[in-house]
Amino acid sequence: MSTMTPDDAFVHPALFYRGEEEYTRQTVAFLRAGLAAGEPMAVAVPGPNLELIRAGLGTDGDGILFLDMTDVGRNPGRIIPRVLRGFADAHPGGRVRIIGEPIWAGRSAVEYPACAQHEALINVAFEGRAVTILCPYDEARLDPQVIADARITHPTLIDGDREETSHAYDWEAVVARYNEALPASPEAAVVSFGSQDLPAVRRFAVAQAERLGVAGRRLQDMELAAAELTTNSVLHGGGNGTLAVWAEAGHLVCEVRDAGRLSDPLAGRRPPRPGQIGGRGLMLVHYVTDLVRVHTGDAGTTVRFYLSL
């Protein structure tokens, strides 16, 4: 079944596949259609799948940008600004075509809620733009809940030779569902702060990170990220907050709680214009960390970032 696509419509199908042969056949056909249409193309999928696509395309893949999603998309929060909009914004003037596979078997239970929210937010980030993003899902290896969520985050579903509209499509429901409470860790080193304490709380965060073995550029990144979150609390989150740092399953976790509410679901995912004054703080946190989890509501906001140790 095929429908006419308006020139400025965003197209966001999920592709459910079982095994390497089907994966290669479907993704290569998708890219060959883009080649025939003369569209700029990028492929951001896990390394082994990247190789399948490259091998399937041969020299036809020469003009395509290939990225290992386990690297560029390790933190799902940076996929929209850095990978997807990064490519689409660099190719204005016509439709661009992207394969993005942000969820693979091996994504942890801590990562998954941020992955599902990322898939949901793609829909609002690209609304009204001439962009096609195909998201492959490994039906043989992913949890059935992940497949069920993909039917809610994608307006179009491709399964075998069938392409159909998803009747379950409701991206906001997935954003809300994975806005999960983040209980405090009993192991954490905790400090409260107000506007006068920003330098002190930043130094506290750095000292805790050093104690846990973070050094060099990672330590500088941690300092930048902690400064942005605590400054946000002072400016937008009620004027004060609490910072906590602990180690968990091979990661440093740094968390900032305040009384504010994050009302913009795309906060930190909209690339700013070069001369724009604000809008980079939360994006920096996404860029330099391995995972960001957010819980926001009437009772306040918790933002947590993870750095692998």
Q: Check residue 194 for interaction with other proteins (CB under 8 A).
A: no
- Report the distance separating Cα 301 and Cα 262, nearest Å: 7
Residue from 287, 290, 296, 309 in contact with other proteins (CB under 8 A): 287
Q: Which of 29, 105, 184, 200 binds other proteins (CB under 8 A)?
A: 200
Window 230-259: residues binding other proteins (CB under 8 A): 231, 234-235
Q: Does 185 bind other proteins (CB under 8 A)?
A: no
**272 counts as binding other proteins under rule CB under 8 A:** yes
Judged by CB under 8 A, does residue 299 bind other proteins? no
What order of strands is seen across the sheet that includes strand 189-193? 189-193, 241-248, 251-258, 300-308, 291-297
CA dist 140 and 18 (Å) reads: 5
**41 φ, ψ to 5°?**
-135, 145
Quote the least distance from Cβ 91 to other proteins, whole Å: 17
The helix (H) or strand (E) run that includes residue 234 is helix 216-236
Exactly one of 47, 199, 213, 297 binds other proteins (CB under 8 A); that residue is 199
Q: Shortest gap between Cβ of 60 and other proteins (angstroms)? A: 30
Among residues 124, 190, 198, 259, which is the contact residue for other proteins, using CB under 8 A? 198
Instruction: Label residues 137-167 b or e (16+ Cβ within 10 Å = b).
Output: bbbeebeeebeebbbbbbbbbbeeeeeeebe
Contact residues for other proteins, defined by CB under 8 A: 195-200, 202-203, 217, 220-221, 223-224, 227-228, 231, 234-235, 272, 274-275, 277-278, 280-281, 284, 287
